[in-house]
Amino acid sequence: MYNVQVIKEAAWDGLGSFMGGVAVQDMLKALEGGSGVDAAAFTGGRALQYESLDNVLYTSTISMRSAALWRAIKKNPIHATIDQFDRRTSFGDQWGMAVAESSNPANHISAIMRAYSAVAYYRSYREVSDVSMLVQNIANPELVEEIGGTESIIQRLNRDFYWADRSVIGTRVNGFYSLASEDANSMVGYDAAGTILTGREDFEGLAADIVNAGGTLTHAFANPLVVSDFSAAYATAERVVIMPGGSGGEAWPGTNPAGIDTAQGRISFERDPFNRIGWACPSAVEGDANRPAAPTSVAAAAAGTGGAIPTGSYWYKVTAVNENGQSVGVAMEAAVAVTLGEKVTLTITNGDASAAAAGYYIYRSEKDAATAADCRFLWQTPITAGATTAYIDTGYWVPGTSHVLMLGLDEAESHGANQQWSQLLPLTKKPLAETGPTRPFLMNLYGTLRVAIPEWCAVYRNILPRKTRDAGWDPLGVYAA
C-alpha cells in the first residue's frame, strides 16, 4: 500500500525553499543533463556520461602533420568489437569460358575467405587541478588536456600501425610490419641489406610487382632521413628546373622530389618520424611498476642453412616487454660466430612470472663488434610457455636500419579500401569521480587496423640512412674500411 500524504498549503513555502536549495538544484542538473555522446544536446549540466570528442580528433588529425600514416589511412565506423570483412583470393578457374554457340561454360566459383580483427582499446588517463580551472589561465586547462590526450593516442596508434605485433603485446592493433615477416610472407618485400638508398630501381620493381598482383602503390611512408637520402640520389635530369624572376637569368637546380613517377604511376613520399629507425637497447627500465622482469639469461648458437647474416661475430641483447614497460637488456656472455648461410637460434630463459612478460624485443650488434655495448632493435617475439623461449634470426631483418611502407590508398585503383582504421564509437571523454582536488577523466579511442589485401602492400626493408652510417653504425660491415 502506498502512503499518500496531502501537503497543506502552508507547507508550500518551505518546500519551495527546499527545492530552490543548492543541493537539490545540483541534483536536478545531474538528472536532467542527459547522456549519450552528443555534447551539444546537454543542457543545464550533465551526469558522468561519455562525451564525444570526435571534433577534437578531427582537428588534431589535420594539425599533426608528423603522423602521416594515421592522416592518410581511411577511417570507417564499425558497430561491433570484431571487425569482419571478406578477402577474395580467386575469381575461379580461367579455363572453359570460350564455348560453342549453344553450350554452357564450365562452373566458375570465386574463393572468398572471411577475415576478422578484434578491436583494441586505447585510453589516456588525464586530470586537471581544481586551481587551474578556477584561476584566469590563457587557455582552458581541460581543453588543453583533451587535445594532449588525443594527440598522445594518435602518436601511439601511428607508431603501432608500423611496429605493433599482437602476438607480442595482445592489447594493441596488428601493425603492417607484422604482416611483412618471413613467416607470414604475405607482403611483397625488397631487401636493401643494410645499404644506403642510392636509386629508384627497387621502387619501380615493387610497383610492378603490386600491379602484377592486381593492386597499385600510391604512397610510400618513410622516415625523414630515408626521404632525404632519396632526394640526394634522385637524378638531376629528373628534377623540375624552376627559372626565377628578375634579369639575372640564373637557373635554380630544381625542387626536391615529393615522390617518384614510375611506369606504374606516381608514388608520393610521406615523411613519418614514427616509422622509426631501429632504436638502441635501453640502458634502464622503461614504464611503470607493472613492467615485466628481465629474462634470466640469453644464449645463442649458429647452425643450419638458408640464413643471410654475413660471416662474422655478433652480440645479442634481449629485453622483456608488456604493455606497461620494458626491462633492461640482458646480453650473452660471449659473441656468437656466424658463417654466411647459417641461422642463429637464441635461447631466452624466461624471467620472473610474477611480472609477466608478453614477449621479447631482440637487439643485435654490428658485425664483429668488440662488446655488446651497442645493440639495436632487430625484431620481436612472443614469450612461450615453459622455461625458455626460442627465436631464430635468419638475417631477414637488419638491426639499426629503416623500412619504407608502401600502400595503395587510391580507392578507385585499389577496388575499395584495402586498408583502413575501423573505429568503434567516436573518440570519447568520460569524467571520473573526483576523489581529490583534481578533475580526472579518460580519453577513449577504440578500433582496429584492417588490412584486407596484404598482397597489395609492400615494404622496402633494411635501408641504412646515410646519417646513421656517418654516425658510425654499419650493421653488416658493408662500409667498413
177: alpha, beta or left? (left if phi > 0; alpha if psi -120 to 50): alpha
For residue 11, pLDDT over 50 is answered with no
In this predicted structure, what is the pLDDT of residue 184? Answer: 62
The neighbour count for residue 330, using CB atoms within 10 Å, is 21
CATH annotation of 46-88+111-233+257-276+401-471 = 3.90.1690
For residue 225, pLDDT over 80 is answered with yes
In this predicted structure, what is the pLDDT of residue 214? Answer: 85
The packing angle between helices 141-163 and 54-63, to 10°, is 60
Phi, psi of 443 (to 5 degrees): -105, 130
Give the mean pLDDT of 381-410: 94
Residue 418's alpha-carbon distances to 45, 73, 86, 423, 451, in angstroms, are 43, 10, 11, 15, 6
CA distance 397 to 182: 9
**Is the pLDDT higher at 198 or at 246?**
198
In this predicted structure, what is the pLDDT of residue 401? Answer: 97
The pLDDT tens digits of the residues spanning 62-114 come to 999 899 999 999 999 999 999 998 877 777 778 888 989 988 888 888 777 88
Q: What is the pTM of this model?
A: 0.84
Query: Pairing state of beta strands 265-271 and 219-222?
Result: parallel
Phi, psi of 162 (to 5 degrees): -90, -55
For residue 39, pLDDT over 60 is answered with no
CA distance 109 to 380: 40
**Is the pLDDT higher at 411 or at 11?**
411
Q: 190: which strand partners? A: 460
The pLDDT tens digits of the residues spanning 445-465 come to 999 999 988 889 999 999 999
For residue 1, pLDDT over 70 is answered with no
Give the mean pLDDT of 1-30: 50
CA distance 86 to 77: 16
Confirm if 253 and 239 have CB atoms less than 8 A apart. Answer: yes
Confirm if 278 and 378 have CB atoms less than 8 A apart. Answer: yes
Mean pLDDT score across all residues of the chain: 85
Determine the Cα angle at 64 with ends 61 and 69, to 5°.
75
User: Which stretch of 181-185, 373-377, 384-388 has the lowest confidence by average pLDDT?
Assistant: 181-185
Confirm if 197 and 229 have CB atoms less than 8 A apart. Answer: yes
For residue 7, pLDDT over 50 is answered with no
Res. 12 pLDDT band, cuts 50 70 90: very low
In this predicted structure, what is the pLDDT of residue 185? Answer: 62
For residue 48, pLDDT over 80 is answered with no
User: Which stretch of 36-45, 154-163, 316-325 has the lowest confidence by average pLDDT?
Assistant: 36-45
C-alpha cell at 149: 590526450
Give the mean pLDDT of 113-121: 91
Confirm if 236 and 254 have CB atoms less than 8 A apart. Answer: yes
Res. 251 pLDDT band, cuts 50 70 90: very low
For residue 469, pLDDT over 60 is answered with yes
Which one-letter amino acid corresponds to residue 382? Answer: P
**Is the pLDDT higher at 49 or at 90?**
49
